[in-house]
Homo-oligomer: A and B are copies of this chain.
Amino acid sequence: MAYAAALRALADPTRRAVFERLSRAPASVGEVAAGLPVSRPAVSQHLKALKRAGLVIDRSEGARRVYQLDPDGLGELRRWLDQFWDQALEAFKHELEQPKTLRGRRKS
């Protein structure tokens, strides 16, 4: 059920920015905060949420604390999504074969 925490964590734009920042390179809390329009404690709280979701891990490096991505949470999210992917595709194809009044926004 950790995918729930991962989804909640990645739903917030700022937290997503933190996550994407760490995807480029591991960084400390201060380094991450320096590139964002929010305070350092805010980033610290976001990192705590990301860590509980299994999306990042941290290691102590002297007085600093370096964060980087953790494949665990990401992998669980991927598996959860894939669970619906095939069903969605097949159901959608089946829909196209019987063209009733489609109301969804189609991309093209």
Q: Report the copy number of this chain in the oligomer.
A: 2
Give which listed residue, B74, B81, B84, B88, contacts A84 with CB less than 8 A.
B74
Residues of B within 8 A of A84 (CB): 19-20, 23, 69, 74
**Residue pair A91, B68 in contact (C-beta under 8 Å):** yes
Q: Is A63 an interface residue (CB 8 A)?
A: no
Distance of A27 from chain B, by nearest CB (Å): 12
Chain B residue at minimum C-beta to C-beta distance from A71: B88
Q: Are B59 and A87 closer than 8 Å at their CB atoms? A: no
- Please list the residues of chain A having a beta carbon within 8 angstroms of any beta carbon in chain B: 4, 7-8, 10-11, 13, 16, 19-20, 23-24, 26, 51, 54, 56-61, 65, 68-72, 74-75, 77-78, 81-85, 87-89, 91-92, 95, 100-107
Main secondary structure of the interface of A (DSSP, over half): helix
Closest residue of B by beta carbon distance from A107: B72
